[in-house]
Amino acid sequence: MRSSIPKVLHRVGGRSLLEAVFDAAASLSPVRTVVVVGEERERLEAALAGRGAVLVVQEAPLGTGDAARRALSVLGEGDGPVLVLSGDTPLLRPETLASLIERQTRGGLALALLSFRPPDPGDFGRIVRDSRGRVLRVAGAKNTSARERGIGEVNGGAYCFEAGALRRALSRVEPDAVSGESDLSDAVEILARSGGGVEAVVAEDWREAWGVNTRRDLAAAEEMEHRRRIERALDAGATVVDPATTRLGPRVRVEPDAILHPFVSLEGDTTVGSGVEVLPFTRIVDSTLAPGAVVGPHCELDGARIGARSRVGPFARLRPGSVLEEDVRVGNFVETKNTVLHDGVKAQHLSYLGDAEVGARSNIGAGVITCNYDGATKHRTSIGEGVFVGSDAQLVAPVTIGRGAYVGAGATITEDVPEGALALSRVAQTNVEGWVEKRRQKAGRIAGARGHGK
């Protein structure tokens, strides 16, 4: 990888390779999860924090067979299937792993392994079968004959063993005479020769068994994952105007008739409801958009909930805790944080609303700011229903604006405003008649005096 970062911590589709494998296996509800780590163990341990996995250290890189042996020693003598996965296969699907386990258990097999047929088999190990189609062994890329290199079916690196069969096979896997490494794929031939039953389950989509060993592999995996997620959105009934520039995260859900424009990025746990339209150059993270909502161009939403038929942007930023109920309008250069805007609220221009609650049908004028932070503590602003806040007003929290009240433009509000009241905080305006002409004449006299002195 030519990197100081451990290979499995490189990212594809917004997740590390390791996270992607964990997410694929999470739905299988394993009794125990064991992870074998080697170099950079501290960084890997940090990445696995909270995952509930048991870590086993492989001090020297002695191969996948040695790694499996160490993991099995932690699992003990229990029965049942043992699923062995590689940390560098980020495109695996839970459905495929479930089918692998089902095939091993239903068939009473010693081993069911995943295979796939990529357009170019390259350096992947080949699945060698006999004339009856039975799996005989995996031929490593360095040890293949000319005939075997013509085989299109290759090893996907995912195995489901019967626990006892795995123990027997590992006891017979020999290290390489030169490298000293033992290869788990050797267990395929050992079990096939013993007659325990070995089958290869071909992946429906060859892309998901793709392994990452180089930067080129990483880039290819990114593109494959991108295309797969786009296909999932299209199959769900969404319109993706420009698939090449649209990015969708692994946990993103897009409902029918949603429209995603070019250069849209949807990340985290995000749901885009039916009929939602997201315009270009917008990034949305961990947010929910209810049916009929529209998010304009150049917006950023993070941890926000957008109600039905609400409109956001352009150039709006909604930070965590922002909740827009139905038919809300948040316009250009408006920022919200930890704020609830109830039905029909309008905040169309150049405002900051933080730690606030705005009642239904209230109008927030241009340049309004909730002054929520005093340098040490955040304070809340409460605005009732049907309130009109004039342009360039500052609401110094904690403060409450009563239902139906008006706040005059340019006001600085430091005390609660009663229901139905008008709040003003302006000094009296003074107009000085003729001031401009007097200033011009005075400036002329000064310039003339300076010229005479020269």
* Cβ neighbours of residue 287 closer than 8 Å, sequence gap 6 or more: 268, 270, 271, 301, 302, 303, 304, 305, 306, 318
Structure tokens at 289: 């958009």
In angstroms, rounded to a whole number, what is the distance separating the alpha carbons of residues 153 and 355?
Answer: 58
Taking the CA atoms of residue 201, residue 203, residue 206 and residue 210 in that order, the dihedral angle to the nearest 10 degrees is -80
In angstroms, rounded to a whole number, what is the distance separating the alpha carbons of residues 226 and 247?
Answer: 7
In angstroms, rounded to a whole number, what is the distance separating the alpha carbons of residues 291 and 274?
Answer: 5
The reply to whether omega before 256 is within 30° of 0 (cis) is no
Q: Are 270 and 286 in contact (CB under 8 A)?
A: yes
Residue 259 backbone dihedrals phi, psi, to 5 degrees: -125, 120
Q: Are 292 and 309 in contact (CB under 8 A)?
A: yes
In angstroms, rounded to a whole number, what is the distance separating the alpha carbons of residues 309 and 74?
Answer: 54
Q: Could you count the other beta carbons within 10 Å of the beta carbon of residue 200?
A: 24
Is-catalytic flag, 349? yes
* Cβ neighbours of residue 145 closer than 8 Å, sequence gap 6 or more: 139
Q: For the CA atoms of the chain, what is the radius of gyration?
A: 32
Q: Which of 226, 298, 349, 379 does the annotation list as catalytic?
A: 349
In angstroms, rounded to a whole number, what is the distance separating the alpha carbons of residues 260 and 280?
Answer: 8
The 10 Å CB-count burial string (b at 16+, else e) for 323-351 is: bbbbbbbbbbbbbbbbbbbbbbbbbbbbb
DSSP string, 384-426: -TT-EE-TT-EEESSEEE-TT-EE-TT-EE-S-B-TT-EE---
Active site residues: 349
